[in-house]
Amino acid sequence: MFLAVTTLAQVQSGTWFVKEGQAGYNLYTNQGESSMTISVKFPTTFENKPKVALSVTQIDADKNANQRYNVEAISVSRDGFTIKIGTWADSKVFSISGYWIAHE
């Protein structure tokens, strides 16, 4: 496989992952709304505030409850951003992971 890339604007990417047992993890409580955050620092500071896109690639959830989740990028700056992961109602998420990409 050959991949050629021309960079017209700065692009950075990475992965994220949270799971039961991590400090502050509460997405398995199934007691209404719960959320947690992950701080991401860009390896290189952007010249301007970038756009950030997130994806979910894996989720481990209780088969006896609805699988509700929301993943969003908040507090985006030239230096980094925060990923906010949330669940609600009777959802129980034991782990969730994905990718992020930031571009100017």
Rounded CA separation 65/76 (Å): 32
Q: What is the pLDDT of residue 1?
A: 43
Task: Determine the average pLDDT of the residues in 30-36.
Answer: 84
pLDDT in tens, 41-59: 999 999 999 999 999 999 9
d(CA 70, CA 87): 6
Under 8 Å between Cβ of 100 and 73: yes
Q: What is the phi-psi region of residue 63: left when phi exceeds 0, alpha when psi lies from -120 to 50, beta otherwise?
A: alpha
| pTM attached to this predicted model | 0.86
d(CA 83, CA 38): 5
Of 37, 25, 29, nearest to 72 by C-alpha is: 37
Domains recognised in the chain with CATH numbers: 11-103 (2.60.40.2080)
Confirm if 85 and 18 have CB atoms less than 8 A apart: yes
pLDDT at residue 5 tops 70: no
- The distance from CA 1 to its chain's CA centroid, rounded to whole angstroms, is 29
Q: Is the pLDDT of residue 65 over 90?
A: no
